[in-house]
Structure formats: structure tokens, C-alpha cells
Chains A and B, each alone.
Chain A
Amino acid sequence: MAEPPADLASPEFASLYAENSRAIYYLALRFLGDPQKAEDATHDVFLKAFRKLGQFRGEASLRTWLYRIAINHCQNLCRSWQDRHVFSNADDAVWENATAQTDSPLRVLETKELGQRIQKALDGLSDEYRLLLLLVADAELSYEHVGALVGQSPDAVRGKLHRARKAFAALFEKTA
């Protein structure tokens, strides 16, 4: 966890930011695919959270609550831009027939290009698969949490995750 920024509005908000800003920024960065847009989105998400903190019911964790705000925000941005080529779920067959190599571990060299390769692979996925992988990558979220965030049952999350992993691996291999 990063040190809470001392000059944020209140100690409560400062620790909320310190504990969750990396997760929210990373989601925005890889979902939107643009560092400047991710910066704006992270700012807007936390500003919204600051205004609505009093409405937080404590039914979910603060992390889950922030993710919900962030997902809505990023999806609204994507809807209004309409500037991203996405694969529909109809393309699943492509990944189902992908070579067996996609089941092997992902091997990478530690290079500066790793982020670009990941972004390229994520950009080739549908919004649904991209979001699923990004949420499951957060070790703090269980399949139940992820399911609640994407409106799916934990079993559906597991099933889709399998296909999303396969699709990602196939796309990631192509970026090498």
C-alpha cells in the first residue's frame, strides 16, 4: 500500500485513496488503453467516491464499491467514444480453436514493451473478457465479488474466465 497523500481532504479519504488508487488506476489504464484517459478516469472515480462516501452502505467492501463506480465510469466513456474495435462473443469460436500452445505458460522477457504487449492483447478482447480478466487479477476479489460486479454467477465467471484466458494467451503470443 502506498503512503496516504497527506494533503487530501480528510484522513479517511486519504487512506481510501492510498489503499485503492493502484487497483482503480490499473483497471482504468488497461480497460481504456490510454494513460491520459486513465488519469482523468481515476480522478473522476475518486471525486465521485468523495462526494458519495456518506451513501456507502457497507454491504460490500470499499474496494468493490470503488470498482463499481470505476466500471460504470469506464463503460460510459467507451460507449460515448465508440472508437474501439471489439470482438463480439461470436468470436469465441476463434479462441476455442486456438492452438494448444495457449495452454502453456505465458513467457515474457522483462522489457519495457511488456505493458504495450499486454495492452495490445487486451485491446483484442471483448469488453466483457477484458473486464473479467482485470477484476480476477485483483487478488482481493473472490469469484463471488467479481460475479457481483459483472452481474454473473460465480460459476459463469469461472466458465468465461477459462475462455478469456485462452483468448488472451492467443493474442498475447501474437504480440511477441
Chain B
Amino acid sequence: MKQQTKLSEEQQQHAAEHQTQQPAVKEFATAEELLRYDAAHTPVPPVIAQRLQKSTSDLPGPKPAWWKRWLGGTRP
């Protein structure tokens, strides 16, 4: 009985190892679903924000949109 339990544990371990060796397969119904997944896993390089900070530091701040100015929603 004990032997059986031991074998069963070994089998379970083997099965678990086998399972971890199996690469995860992902399925995507359409190309855009795959692209969406890829986009979500593609980080934006932080250097872009740093470069923008440098590029915009000498420029006057962005004006509010004309319709916002017209509505008087944003005051300079």
C-alpha cells in the first residue's frame, strides 16, 4: 500500500515536471487579437519622455484648443 502511494507520488511529480516542460501555447482568433497582445507587452522606451521633456522645455506651453478658449473653459 505504501509502495503504491510512493509510486503515485513519483508519477505525480513526473507528470508535474512534464507539464512544466511543455511550453505554453497561446491561441489568437485573429491577427488583430495577436497584435493587441503584442502591443500590451511592448513597453514604451522611457527615453522618449526624457527627449520630449528636453525638446519642449524651450518652447512655450501648449495653448488650449481654440474651442476651449472660445468657451472660456480654460484661462491662461
- Partner-B contacts on A (CB < 8 A): 2, 5, 7-10, 12-13, 17, 21-23, 25-26, 29-30, 35, 39, 42-43, 46-47, 50-51, 53-58, 105-111, 114-115, 118, 133-134, 136-139, 164-165, 168-169, 172
- Contact flag A9-B56 (CB < 8 Å), given A58-B67, A110-B23: yes
For residue B42, give the distance in angstroms from its CB to the closest CB of chain A. 6
- Partner-A contacts on B (CB < 8 A): 23-36, 38-39, 42-45, 47-49, 51-53, 55-57, 59, 61-68
Instruction: Chain A residues near B68: list those with CB within 8 A.
Output: 58
- Contact flag A12-B53 (CB < 8 Å), given A2-B44, A42-B48, A137-B35: no
Pick from A2, A12, A168: contact of B62, CB below 8 A: A12
Asked whether A107 lies within 8 Å of B59 as measured between CB atoms, the reply is no
Pick from A43, A111, A165: contact of B48, CB below 8 A: A43
Instruction: Chain A residues near B62: list those with CB within 8 A.
Output: 9-10, 12-13, 50-51, 53-54
Asked whether B66 lies within 8 Å of A55 as measured between CB atoms, the reply is yes
The list of the 10 closest CB pairs from A to B, nearest first, reads: A54-B63, A137-B35, A53-B62, A137-B32, A9-B56, A168-B31, A5-B49, A26-B39, A105-B27, A106-B28
Q: Report the Cα distance A22→B48, complex, angstroms.
A: 11
Instruction: Chain A residues near B64: list those with CB within 8 A.
Output: 12, 53-54
Instruction: Chain A residues near B34: list those with CB within 8 A.
Output: 106, 108, 118, 172
Asked whether A22 lies within 8 Å of B44 as measured between CB atoms, the reply is yes
Asked whether B28 lies within 8 Å of A8 as measured between CB atoms, the reply is no
Pick from A8, A29, A35, A107: contact of B52, CB below 8 A: A8
**Nearest B residue to A24, CB-CB:** B44
Instruction: Chain A residues near B48: list those with CB within 8 A.
Output: 21, 25, 39, 42-43, 46
Instruction: Chain B residues near A30: list those with CB within 8 A.
Output: 35, 38
Q: A13-B61, A56-B65, A118-B34 are in contact. List 6 more A-B contacts (CB 8 A).
A: A8-B52, A21-B49, A51-B62, A54-B65, A133-B32, A136-B32
